[in-house]
Amino acid sequence: MIKHSNGNLVYFTFENFDNTGIVSHCFSTRLGGVSEGVFESMNLHFRGDNPKNVIENYKIICSAIGIDYKNIVFSKQIHNDTIYTVSKEDRGKGLLRESDIDDADGLITNEKEVALATFYADCVPVYFLDPVLKVIAMVHSGWRGTVKQIAAKAVLKMEKDYGSERKNILAGIGPSIKKCCFEVEYPVVAEFEKNINFSSEFIFKDNEKKGKYKIDLQGIIQETLISVGILRRNIENANICTKCNPELFFSHRYMGDERGSLAGIISLNNQ
């Protein structure tokens, strides 16, 4: 990913997405917003924060990446594998009015003037772009979503609903908790073993802490994408751990509930 600094504002973009010239997108950091206290400063979710500040934060980051903040659409994320098809009628849902998209962790569209947004504080953001048929999608893949292979499901939906060819689809795996910090106990490991046959390659027993394991979520997501036909060269992995960089990112594992939220945002350009 490429790190952009614009005054106090810092955000990241995927080079492979930027190179197409057909989308505006970013993964936010906690820098460059107006929120205060534990939400300092670029908090992009309402939970607990002053709503005026959250909307101002959207105005700041959307303007920096060339998106109209009124086009933002977000859902309530529940760690499931549902992917909701967004249209222009959904604009403003979540941000400027109540969202009735209450069970989706993934968003997809081929419409312009619509900006998909999903939230993070360690979970893995996965972005998709079919530059040929101009389709975008984005999924929130925490460990539960990764077990349910929501990223692979986004690829299948792009193919089924829009006719995207898998070899054309670009994917981006954003900043999130990496195996250095994603410590779990056996019940989580068991879910992976039960549902993903190659997962053992990405699960590591902690030799210093009894009963603890480390999981490489990004590695599992990348393998599931390759298994459904995404080309390795079309996957860009940020390779940045949110918990290792608390000055730059909100991290649930580092901060607990007293924190703001990061966002992934993507929109097809009007051209």
Contact positions toward Zn ion, by CB under 5 A?
Answer: 178, 180-181, 241, 243-244
Query: Which of 22, 1, 18 is CA-nearest to residue 135?
Result: 22
Q: Least separation, in Å, of the C-beta of 248 and Zn ion? A: 12
Q: Least separation, in Å, of the C-beta of 55 and Zn ion? A: 31
Angstrom distance (rounded) from CA 23 to CA 12: 14
Q: Least separation, in Å, of the C-beta of 81 and Zn ion? A: 26
The C-alpha torsion from 58 through 60 and 62 to 67, rounded to 10°, is 120
For residues 181 and 231, which CB has a smaller minimum distance to Zn ion in the complex? 181
Q: Distances from the Cα of 218 to the Cαs of 83, 179, 195, in angstroms? A: 20, 8, 16
Q: Least separation, in Å, of the C-beta of 146 and Zn ion? A: 17
User: Residues 188, 190, 193, 196: is their CA dihedral positive or negative?
Assistant: negative
Q: Least separation, in Å, of the C-beta of 149 and Zn ion? A: 23
Q: Which tokens go with 151? A: 């990223």
Largest CA distance in the chain: 56
For residues 207 and 271, which CB has a smaller minimum distance to Zn ion in the complex? 207
The 8-class DSSP code of residue 99 comes to: -
Q: Least separation, in Å, of the C-beta of 252 and Zn ion? A: 13
Q: Distances from the Cα of 234 to the Cαs of 4, 15, 172, 218, in angstroms? A: 22, 11, 8, 15
For residues 110 and 251, which CB has a smaller minimum distance to Zn ion in the complex? 251
Q: Least separation, in Å, of the C-beta of 214 and Zn ion? A: 10
For residues 24 and 218, which CB has a smaller minimum distance to Zn ion in the complex? 218
Q: Least separation, in Å, of the C-beta of 242 and Zn ion? A: 8
For residues 56 and 183, which CB has a smaller minimum distance to Zn ion in the complex? 183
The answer to whether 114 touches 91, Cβ cutoff 8 Å, is yes
Q: Which of 181-204 are b and which e, b meaning 16 or more Cβ less than 10 Å from the residue's Cβ? A: bbbbeeebbebbeeebeebeebbe
Angstrom distance (rounded) from CA 160 to CA 45: 32
For residues 134 and 243, which CB has a smaller minimum distance to Zn ion in the complex? 243
For residues 38 and 244, which CB has a smaller minimum distance to Zn ion in the complex? 244
For residues 20 and 245, which CB has a smaller minimum distance to Zn ion in the complex? 245
Q: Distances from the Cα of 219 to the Cαs of 159, 179, 215, in angstroms? A: 23, 9, 9
